Chains A and B, each alone.
Chain A
Amino acid sequence: ETGVTQSPTHLIKTRGQQVTLRCSSQSGHNTVSWYQQALGQGPQFIFQYYREEENGRGNFPPRFSGLQFPNYSSELNVNALELDDSALYLCASSLRTGLNEQFFGPGTRLTVL
């Protein structure tokens, strides 16, 4: 069973650019959640996708958008990057049964200069 994977591991962008981060869910999982973790802080919920539909959104502006594909992998897109977008972006997948535990990937470290 493959765990949650994310790519790339690290990324450096400049202010105003756009970025796409990718996440492959754990095998069989149909729900993906994205979190932003600033340095020294806890993760903040961005949004969740269930069967390709957005299923809840945190307090993030519209320039943060996402997609979930039929194979349940997911992308996080951020437009018009700002310096404050520098953070670790975590993806978590889950299956809507039982505890519905969210399994986290190792994250993508985004630096905006």
Chain B
Amino acid sequence: GEDVEQSLFLSVREGDSSVINCTYTDSSSTYLYWYKQEPGAGLQLLTYIFSNMDMKQDQRLTVLLNKKDKHLSLRIADTQTGDSAIYFCAESYNQGGKLIFGQGTELSVKP
């Protein structure tokens, strides 16, 4: 079945690292994504990983994928107040196909 789960809230101090976790159930998912949503704005793609990869790094962002446990994480290094937003993980079976989203993790960064 299709199910993506995330913890609902995370609070960190400015300058610390943030780690947002996600679990998914469908092992046939080929692409896994992290999106950011700020108030009044649409979803912004932050990064993605193919299911045949274990890790991907993109500037302050590191994505880790444990395919055996169906666990995905997003690490944000040196978290800033501007990183405060809701973060969604999403999976899809094919490029450009339907995205299946988790319920989102609200990240709060305190100065």
- Chain A residues packing against B (C-beta within 8 Å): 4, 31, 33, 35, 40-45, 48, 56, 58, 90, 92, 94, 96, 98-107
Main secondary structure of the interface of B (DSSP, over half): loop
B44 contacts the other chain (CB 8 A): yes
Size of the B side of the interface (Cβ < 8 Å), in residues, is 20
A31: which B residues are within 8 A, CB to CB? 96
Residue in A closest to B101 when the chains form the complex, CB atoms:
A42
With both chains docked as a complex, state the minimum distance between the C-beta of A77 and any C-beta of chain B, in angstroms: 19
A92 to B43, CA, bound (A): 9
- Chain B residues packing against A (C-beta within 8 Å): 4, 40-45, 48, 88, 90, 95-104
Residue in B closest to A33 when the chains form the complex, CB atoms:
B98
A94–B96 CB distance below 8 A: yes
A103: which B residues are within 8 A, CB to CB? 45
A4 to B41, CA, bound (A): 11
Max count, chain A CB within 10 A of own CB: residue among B42, B101, B102, B103: B42
A94: which B residues are within 8 A, CB to CB? 96
B42–A105 CB distance below 8 A: yes
Nearest first, the 8 closest Cβ-Cβ pairs linking A and B are A100-B96, A42-B101, A104-B42, A100-B95, A45-B98, A104-B43, A106-B42, A42-B103
A106 to B95, CA, bound (A): 22
Also in contact, A40 and B43, with CB within 8 A (given A99-B48, A102-B96): no
Which of A48, A56, A96, A106 lies in contact with B41, CB distance below 8 A?
A106
B96: which A residues are within 8 A, CB to CB? 31, 94, 96, 100, 102
With both chains docked as a complex, state the minimum distance between the C-beta of A73 and any C-beta of chain B, in angstroms: 16
A90–B43 CB distance below 8 A: yes
